[in-house]
Homo-oligomer: A and B are copies of this chain.
Amino acid sequence: MEEWINELEEDVFELIKNKRFVQLKQLLSEMQPADIAEIFEQATDKDIPVLFRILPKELAAEVFVEFDSDKQEILVNSFSDSELREVLDELFMDDAADIVEEMPATVAKRILKNTDANTRRQINQLLAYPDDSAGSIMTTEYIDLKRTMTVDEAFDRIRKIGFDTETIYTCYVIGSRRKLFGTISLRDLLLSGKDEIIGDIMDENVVSAHTLDNKEDVAAMFERYDMLALPVVDSEGRLVGIVTVDDAIDVIQEAASEDIELMAAILPSEKTYLKTGVFETFKSRIPWLLFLMISATFTGAIISSFEARLAQCIALVAFIPMLMGTGGNAGSQTSVSVIRALSLGDIEFKDIMRVIWKELRVAVIIGVVLGVINFIKLYLVDFLWLHTFDTGAELVEMATICLTLIFVIIVAKMLGAALPIIAKKIGLDPAVMASPLVTTILDAVSLLIYFGIAAALVL
């Protein structure tokens, strides 16, 4: 997919260089908005408005939506009021609200000034919903029908207002004060007789979301119910907007990225990798690194407190990284599995005992298998071959290492299972309980187990 866009880019810039604008317009009008936006973003800030004006009106608006907010700002500033109104007229309400939200105050004000009172009211209403809510991703334009309409009348209405709505494939049947009674798909309308009454053929079992529902839960409903659009109602059951499947896909990808970033001790950002500046990247990474570095003071303190005894039994020091590493890996395997399952809605708080019981059994099997393999390896490689152990207590030392390994794996998997579920229960993002934090806790725990067993058996 990547090569042809590079070729197209060359073609476009070749045509620009030679000022062959007629051919350029022809070429661009055959391209998809996302591709045009990607190519235009390579142009200089001065050229972008020039290129943009070559596009046919409707396509121009679609390309505008695909630009990142920096480029949108450049464009808006280059527009005359009438050009701005032309683009705004073509936008869907949710896109318009997103753009206003991203712009600096003065630019946002100018945009709102150039919309009619009704649009302005709807944009402001959308902007008022919290960032993570269904309200923030819905659009306010949809096909509304009445129960008393015939199929034929419904088609008349779709033809009348269908140009301005994001989807016409699901229609919403509402009563007085916009109360939602049911939905009907365009497919069902098309496959029904012309004189049938909407109220008789509509689907009354409507899956809907509340304006304040979490947008990730809303996106999950699309996956579960295979929908193209979802109605959003307020607390009185009135239809206030719809969420379309393309926006749900964006939420799904964002949520996955956010989980992955949190799991790697990064503060989530909305920009793509190459568009995030060095300082921004620094800011998203330093907090957790700093916190985890400082936390590692505990592991240091534990080692220091055993310092005198460790000096006499330095062979054991060599196995600290292996024990900590295996514990950390075992723990993050579990925490990450549990976090993902929580995100996908496969488990919830009431399953905590099932999860712990499952992980306990997995941990015991893994612990014993790794413990035995490790003992064999210690005996063959470290004892017989490398002579790491020459203290006279080699069997006890090897047993210490393997016993520690088993206990560390069990503790690691128990913590990895419990912490994310508890985090979610107390309102934290479970993804925070992934590898880095769990690993840091486990490092300290592993050392305590190691030195505890060593103290009992060896030291």
Q: Residues of A with Cβ closer than 8 Å to B?
A: 1-2, 30-32, 34, 155, 158-159, 162-163, 168-169, 186-187, 190-191, 204-205, 207, 217, 220-226, 228, 245-246, 248-250, 252-253, 256-257, 259-261, 263-266, 272-274, 278-279, 281-282, 285-286, 288-290, 292-294, 296-297, 299-301, 303-304, 307, 310-311, 314-315, 317-322, 324-326, 328-330, 332-333, 335-338, 340-341, 344-348, 351, 354-355, 358, 361-362, 365-366, 369-370, 373-374, 377, 381-382, 386, 388, 434-436, 439-440, 443, 447
- Least CB distance from A89 to B in Å reads 17
Q: Which B residues lie within 8 Å of A338 (CB)?
A: 273
Q: How far is the CA of A336 from the CA of B257 in the complex (A)?
A: 10
27 contacts between A and B (CB under 8 A): A2-B345, A30-B204, A223-B249, A228-B245, A252-B253, A253-B256, A260-B336, A263-B264, A264-B333, A265-B333, A266-B336, A273-B341, A273-B346, A274-B347, A274-B354, A278-B358, A278-B365, A285-B333, A292-B326, A293-B373, A293-B374, A299-B321, A300-B319, A303-B317, A307-B318, A324-B324, A328-B439
A366 to B85, CA, bound (A): 46
State A278–B362 Cα separation when bound (angstroms): 6
| Contact, CB under 8 Å: B436 / A329 | yes
Q: How far is the CB of A6 from chain B (nearest CB, A)?
A: 8
How many angstroms between the C-alpha atoms of A190 and B366 in the bound complex?
61
Q: How far is the CA of A206 from the CA of B443 in the complex (A)?
A: 55
* A296 adjacent to B282 (CB under 8 Å): no
Q: Which B residue's beta carbon lies closest to that of A155?
A: B190
- In the bound assembly, the distance between CA atoms of A324 and B321 in angstroms comes to 8
* Chain B residue contacts of A32, Cβ below 8 A: 205, 207, 224-225
